[in-house]
């Protein structure tokens, strides 16, 4: 059966409104016909809904069902030897060569009576009538008996009340986790609340974030992700540019959570209060924006848990706690938690309490920091516990780690995941990676969220490529993936300075200081971002991943791909120049069938980034992209109408 993840150990994922297509290889010994159905139900329903599976050849069967409710679904395949259909096929074959005999129809009559015994009401009466008619026809002309035997109505009734005494069923029942639509399509923007200020000497507040919502909304983002907003530790606080020693006035890293002012359930006093946070959530909601909160399960050395629950930390032989390390990186301001120590159960319960505390404050999206450094079983338990009563809560895994670990976290319940997109730059790298995400079993449970930059990662292309590189990476992220995000205002202001040569760390990083950004700079990419996000909202084709198809271009610096809407009525074709420094041209071979275009008819492409329009004819077309003007085409593909073709003729 497919989809089936690890033999059914893990669930696949869908959102409300999607369909699930199930295929199965089903066969039996001998030549008997078989009946095959797909059965599905919501987790709380007592009865299964059945859908006959269609035979596709080579013992393969297929069926689909629509998911209309945001609840966990179960599905299975059931199959049996269909004695009535076996008989019917035999009669049909014999009749075709004039070999049908009266005894054949008496066998059919007996099968119909047995089916009547399994049926009830009107179906039983009708089946008995068919049995009597077959008996009577068997005593008359064979041609009349054949007509009676092959009646579609008799076949339908017999199939409905088939003998399933020896049926085989797939085991175990397979599960589908059904999320709301934000799990499939979303546009994320990350900012540091303390930098929502015009004065670098004044710490921003949550009220300032409320004032920033119009800016975020105008660019078209629907998720606003905030790094940790909790009190920041003072012991071993980091200074600017990750200096091991802080100076007076240094604000420290938000990920060094906890101080005498509180821990993971508290808000940094300089940001505001829980009431202020509630007003932010409500103000964002009014603009169609959700607040995503960072869940970083680690502590500053002066976090209250360190003294109140010393058993939650792993001790070295001298009794001290080892700070976090990822050589050569050192995090002296962070203590890891011991999720498998003697106090693990109480610690897990406390983490659940913290998450539910913020759920109660209106948070429905959590971006989880470094989940791969915590036990897998913690996440499987925690996510299930939260979603049991709050199925609308989503979890994004920030796990830049080994592929199979990332995949395991998705299997365990994470709704979405960060990806390797940030480091996939060449045409070959992007094509190979996207085919893996959209054509392998990953598509059933691993939902990618593409980020061209993060506060931790300033990729090398953005350091050297200028505004064209930022635009190209934005278009790639926003059109290759249904969900993407960026870290701003560093992105729209094309912040490109690394801390030192060869580093992906930002110079003067917001992780360690307050930055007062000039949002009104004339060279801001803000209008370009807003246009791309509007294109994403207005074109359903870009809101899905599984219709992605690549197209051939005879230039390695040009990559081309398309997406179509699930209903097949609209398509988007994207061409991106991957070289931010030079103009590139090439011949594009468009797979017209993928886009639903008649190869014998011309079609219009409308560049939604520049508003240019072109009429193309046939699959082979010329493209020309100057990155200094615009590094990409985002074409909406439209088949020409009869009147347009007539107009071309008169021209």
What residues are labeled active site? Answer: 369, 398
The secondary structure of 327-363 as a DSSP string is: TTEEETT-EE--TTSTTHHHHHHHHHHHHHHHHHTT-
Decide: 324 and 256 in contact? Cβ < 8 Å: no
Which positions ≥6 away from 432 have C-beta within 8 Å? none
Long-range contacts of 281-289 (CB under 8 A, 24+ apart): 281/361, 281/362, 281/363, 282/362, 283/210, 283/213, 284/213, 284/224, 285/362, 287/213, 287/214, 287/216, 287/217, 288/217, 288/222, 289/213, 289/216, 289/217, 289/221, 289/222, 289/223, 289/224
Backbone angle region of 411, left / alpha / beta, with phi > 0 → left and psi within -120 to 50 → alpha? alpha
Token pair belonging to 145: 């008996």
Q: How many CB atoms lie within 10 A of CB 544?
A: 17
Tokens 């939604």, located at residue: 608
d(CA 233, CA 251) in angstroms, rounded, equals: 9
> How does DSSP classify residue 322?
P
Please report how many Cα atoms fall inside a 13 Å half-sphere around the Cα of residue 351, on the Cβ side: 24
| Other Cβ atoms closer than 10 A to 465 | 23
Strands (E), 404-547: 416-417, 449-450, 483-487
Beta strands in 529-616 (DSSP E): 549-553, 558-564, 571-577, 584-589, 603-607, 613-616
Which residue's structure tokens are 């071309």? 648
C-alpha 539/C-alpha 277 separation (Å) is: 33
Nearest Cα residue to 200 out of 552, 500, 513? 513
Pairing of strands 12-15, 174-179: parallel
Alpha carbons 88 and 35: distance in angstroms, whole number: 13
Report the alpha-carbon distance of residue 43 to residue 540 in Å, rounded: 30
Q: Which of 379, 295, 302, 375 is nearest to 338 (CA)?
A: 375
What backbone phi and psi angles, to 5 degrees, belong to 119?
Answer: -95, -175
Give ∠ CA 580-490-190 in degrees, rounded to 5: 120
The first and second tokens of residue 471, run together, are: 């635009």
Token code pair at residue 193: 């609340």
CA distance 188 to 337: 29
**Cβ contacts of 1 within 8 Å, gap of 6 or more:** 22, 23, 24, 25, 77, 170, 174
């Amino acid at each position: 059966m497919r989809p089936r993840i690890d033999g059914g150990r893990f669930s696949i994922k869908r959102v409300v409104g999607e369909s699930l297509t199930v295929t199965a290889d089903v066969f039996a010994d001998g030549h008997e016909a078989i009946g095959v159905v797909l059965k599905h139900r919501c987790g709380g329903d007592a009865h299964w809904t059945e859908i006959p599976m269609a035979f596709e050849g080579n013992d393969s069967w297929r069926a689909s069902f629509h998911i209309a409710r945001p609840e966990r679904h179960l599905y299975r395949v059931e199959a049996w030897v269909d004695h009535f259909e076996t008989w019917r096929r035999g009669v049909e074959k014999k009749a075709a060569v004039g070999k049908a005999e009266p005894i054949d129809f008496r066998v059919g009559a007996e099968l119909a009576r047995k089916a009547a015994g399994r049926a009830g009401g009107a179906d039983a009466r009708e089946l008995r009538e068919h049995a009597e008619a077959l008996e009577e026809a068997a005593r008359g002309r064979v041609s009349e008996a054949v007509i009676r035997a092959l009646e579609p109505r008799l076949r339908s009734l017999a199939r409905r009340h088939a003998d399933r005494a020896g049926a085989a069923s797939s085991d175990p029942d397979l599960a589908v986790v059904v999320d709301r639509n934000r799990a499939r399509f979303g546009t994320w923007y990350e900012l540091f609340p303390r930098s929502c200020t015009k004065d670098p000497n004044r710490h921003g507040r949550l009220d300032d974030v409320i004032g920033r919502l119009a800016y975020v909304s105008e660019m078209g983002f629907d998720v606003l992700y905030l790094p940790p907003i909790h009190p920041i530790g003072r012991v071993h606080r980091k200074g600017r540019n990750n200096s091991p020693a802080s100076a007076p006035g240094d604000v420290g890293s938000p990920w060094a959570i906890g101080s005498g002012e509180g821990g993971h359930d508290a808000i940094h006093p300089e940001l505001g209060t829980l009431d202020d946070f509630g007003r932010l959530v409500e103000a964002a909601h009014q603009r169609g924006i959700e607040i995503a909160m960072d869940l970083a399960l680690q502590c500053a050395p002066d976090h209250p848990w360190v003294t109140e629950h010393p058993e939650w930390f792993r001790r070295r032989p001298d009794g001290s706690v080892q700070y976090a390390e990822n050589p050569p990186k050192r995090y002296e301001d962070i203590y890891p938690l011991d999720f498998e120590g003697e106090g693990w159960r109480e610690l897990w319960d406390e983490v659940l309490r913290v998450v539910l505390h913020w759920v109660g404050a209106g948070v429905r999206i959590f971006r989880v920091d470094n989940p791969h450094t915590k036990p897998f079983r913690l996440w499987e338990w925690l996510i299930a516990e939260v979603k049991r009563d709050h199925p609308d809560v989503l979890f994004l895994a920030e796990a830049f780690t080994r592929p199979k670990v990332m995949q395991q976290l998705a299997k365990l319940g994470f709704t979405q995941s960060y990806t390797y997109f940030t480091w996939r730059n060449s045409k070959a790298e992007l094509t190979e990676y996207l085919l893996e995400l959209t054509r392998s079993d990953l598509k059933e449970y691993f939902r990618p969220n593409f980020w061209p930059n993060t506060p931790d990662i300033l990729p090398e292309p953005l350091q050297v490529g200028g505004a064209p590189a930022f635009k190209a990476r934005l278009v790639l992220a926003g059109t290759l993936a249904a969900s993407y995000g960026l870290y701003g205002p560093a992105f729209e202001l094309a912040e490109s300075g690394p801390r030192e040569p060869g580093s992906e760390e930002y110079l003067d990083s917001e992780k360690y200081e307050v930055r007062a950004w000039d949002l009104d700079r004339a060279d801001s990419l803000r209008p370009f971002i807003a246009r791309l996000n509007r294109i994403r909202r207005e074109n359903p084709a870009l809101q899905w991943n599984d219709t992605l198809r690549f197209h051939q271009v005879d230039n390695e610096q040009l990559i081309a791909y398309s997406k179509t809407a699930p209903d097949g009525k609209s398509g988007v074709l994207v061409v991106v120049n991957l070289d931010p420094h030079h103009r590139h041209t090439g011949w594009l071979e468009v797979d017209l069938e993928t886009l639903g275009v008649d190869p014998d008819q011309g079609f219009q492409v409308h560049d939604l980034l520049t508003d240019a329009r072109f009429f193309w004819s046939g699959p082979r077309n010329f493209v020309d992209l100057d990155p200094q003007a615009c590094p990409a085409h985002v074409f909406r593909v439209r088949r020409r109408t009869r009147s347009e073709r007539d107009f071309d003729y008169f021209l």
